[in-house]
Amino acid sequence: MKMRKKSDLPTKQCAHCGLPFTWRKKWERDWEQVKYCSERCRRAGKPSN
């Protein structure tokens, strides 16, 4: 597998804190279902807006 620049990886916005986060290898199989940037935001759950 070719190395990619971090700027070339897909990004999303966290459903809780609203900060952008980038794709990680551990999310490879379920990237479509990933909503939160971290375990802390996932536990907090609902959006802060």
Question: pLDDT by residue (tens digit) across 11-30?
Answer: 999 999 999 999 999 998 99
Distances (CA, A) of 21 to 1, 15, 18: 22, 11, 9
Q: What is the pTM of this model?
A: 0.72
Task: Give the pLDDT score at 44.
Answer: 92
CB-CB contact of 14 with 27 (8 Å) = no
